[in-house]
C-alpha cells in the first residue's frame, strides 16, 4: 500500500463513525427537516430552483394575515401540498428511522415536517413541531375538522383556488393545522422537544437548513447541553459550523447505510 494513502478510518467512513456514536449513545434524538422527504418527491422550502420559497412568497401563503386576506388562495395552496403528500410514499430514510425507533432503546423523533411520511413508515411517536397538513382546525374556535376530502384534481395545481370548509360549530373558516410564520409552536410539543434535546447525548439532524427559529435552536440547545451532533445533508447548513460530524449524503442513502451498519454489528453493544 502506498505510504501516503489514507487508511480507512472512521473519519473517512461516516457510516461507521455515526454507527459507533449511535451504539454508544443512551439517548438519541433524530431531528428532521424538509430534506428528509425530498426523495419522496416533496419539495423543500429552501435550496434549489424547485424549492417552495423560491417559487412562492411565504408571507402571502404561510401567515394568518394571508389566510384572512385571501382564504381561497391559501387553502388551495395547502390542499395542493396535501395532495402531493398523499400521493407520495415514505422513502428508505423514513423506513430506516422507523427501524431505529422500533429496535434501539432511547431514540426519539422530532420533526419540523408537516407531512405524515414518518408515521406511514412506522415511526411512533413522532413529535411534530410545526403541526400537520392533515390536522385542520377552526380559525376561530380551534375545534378539529376531520372530514375534508382532498379533491382528485388538486395534485398538479399549486395555484388552485378553493374556499376552505366551514366549522360545523361556529361557522368560521377551517384553517390548515400547520404553524404559520409569526405563530407560537404548540406549547406541549415544544416542551417535549426541549426535554428530549436537553437529555440527548446524540442528535442526528437530517435534511434541515437550520435557519428557522425556534426549531433550529433545539439543536444548539442539545449541543450546549451535552450532545454530539451529526448532520446528514448533502449541502452545508446553518448548523454545519458546530456539528461534530457532517455526513454529506442524502437522507434516503445515508440512513439505510447507517441501519445496515447497526444491523451488521448486532445493534447497540
Ligand atoms: P429547508 O427547506 O429550509 O431546508 C431543507 C434542507 O434539506 C436543506 O439544507 C437541503 O440542503 C437539505 N436537503 C435537500 N435534499 C436533501 C436530501 N435528499 N437529504 C437530506 N437533506 C436534503 O427545510 P427545513 O429546515 O425543514 O416551516 O425548514 C424549516 C421550516 O421552514 C419548515 O418546517 C417550514 C419552513 O418555512 C413551517 O412550515 C412553519
Please write the tens of the pLDDT for every residue from 98-148: 999 999 999 999 999 999 999 999 999 999 999 999 999 999 999 999 889
List CB contacts of 105: < 8 A, sequence separation 6 or more: 268
- Closest residue by CA, ligand 1 atom 23: 34
* Known catalytic membership, residue 130: yes
Pick from 108, 199, 87: which is nearest to 150 by CA?
87
pLDDT score recorded for residue 63: 97
Q: Which of 130, 136, 145, 169 is an active site residue?
A: 130
Question: pLDDT-derived band of residue 55, with 50, 70 and 90 as boundaries?
Answer: confident
The proportion of the chain whose per-residue pLDDT surpasses 70, expressed as a percent, equals 94
Question: pLDDT-derived band of residue 6, with 50, 70 and 90 as boundaries?
Answer: very low
**Looking at residues 170-180, what average pLDDT do you find?**
97
End-to-end Cα spacing for the chain:
32
pLDDT score recorded for residue 11: 58
Going from the Cα of 150 to the center of ligand 1, the distance in angstroms, rounded, reads 25
CA distance 113 to 118: 9
Instruction: Judge residue 112's burial from the number of C-beta atoms within 10 Å of its C-beta, 0-12 exposed, 13-18 middle, 19 or more buried.
Output: buried
Q: Is the pLDDT of residue 269 over 50?
A: no
Mean pLDDT is lowest, of 39-53, 114-128, 221-235, for 39-53
**Looking at residues 56-84, what average pLDDT do you find?**
95
Pocket of ligand 1 (CB under 6 A): 33-35, 38-39, 44-47, 51, 112, 130, 178-179, 207-209, 212, 233-235, 237, 250-251
pLDDT score recorded for residue 180: 97
Mean pLDDT is lowest, of 47-61, 81-95, 125-139, 180-194, for 47-61
Question: pLDDT-derived band of residue 266, with 50, 70 and 90 as boundaries?
Answer: low
- Closest residue by CA, ligand 1 atom 25: 208
pLDDT score recorded for residue 2: 38
Amino acid at each position: 500500500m502506498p505510504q501516503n494513502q489514507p487508511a480507512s478510518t472512521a473519519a473517512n467512513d461516516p457510516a461507521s463513525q455515526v454507527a459507533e456514536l449511535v451504539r454508544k449513545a443512551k439517548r438519541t434524538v433524530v431531528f428532521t427537516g424538509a430534506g428528509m422527504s425530498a426523495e419522496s418527491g416533496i419539495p423543500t422550502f429552501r435550496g434549489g430552483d424547485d424549492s417552495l420559497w423560491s417559487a412562492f412568497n411565504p408571507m402571502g401563503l404561510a401567515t394568518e394575515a394571508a389566510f384572512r386576506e385571501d382564504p381561497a388562495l391559501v387553502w388551495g395552496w395547502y390542499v395542493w401540498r396535501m395532495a402531493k403528500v398523499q400521493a407520495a410514499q415514505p422513502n428508505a430514510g423514513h423506513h430506516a428511522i422507523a427501524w431505529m425507533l422500533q429496535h434501539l432503546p432511547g431514540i426519539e423523533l422530532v420533526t419540523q415536517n408537516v407531512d405524515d411520511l414518518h408515521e406511514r413508515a412506522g415511526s411512533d411517536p413522532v413529535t411534530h413541531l410545526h403541526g400537520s397538513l392533515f390536522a385542520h382546525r377552526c380559525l376561530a374556535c380551534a375545534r378539529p375538522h376531520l372530514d375534508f376530502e382532498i379533491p382528485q384534481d388538486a395534485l398538479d395545481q399549486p395555484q388552485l383556488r378553493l374556499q376552505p370548509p366551514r366549522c360545523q360549530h361556529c361557522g368560521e373558516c377551517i384553517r390548515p393545522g400547520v404553524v404559520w410564520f409569526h405563530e407560537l409552536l404548540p406549547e406541549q410539543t415544544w416542551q417535549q422537544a426541549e426535554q428530549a434535546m436537553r437529555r440527548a447525548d446524540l442528535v442526528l439532524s437530517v435534511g434541515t437548513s437550520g435557519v428557522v427559529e425556534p426549531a433550529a435552536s433545539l439543536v444548539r440547545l442539545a449541543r450546549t447541553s451535552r450532545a454530539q451532533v451529526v448532520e446528514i445533508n448533502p449541502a452545508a447548513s446553518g448548523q454545519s459550523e458546530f456539528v461534530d460530524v457532517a455526513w454529506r449524503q442524502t437522507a434516503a442513502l445515508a440512513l439505510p447505510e447507517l441501519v445496515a451498519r447497526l444491523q451488521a454489528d448486532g445493534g447497540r453493544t
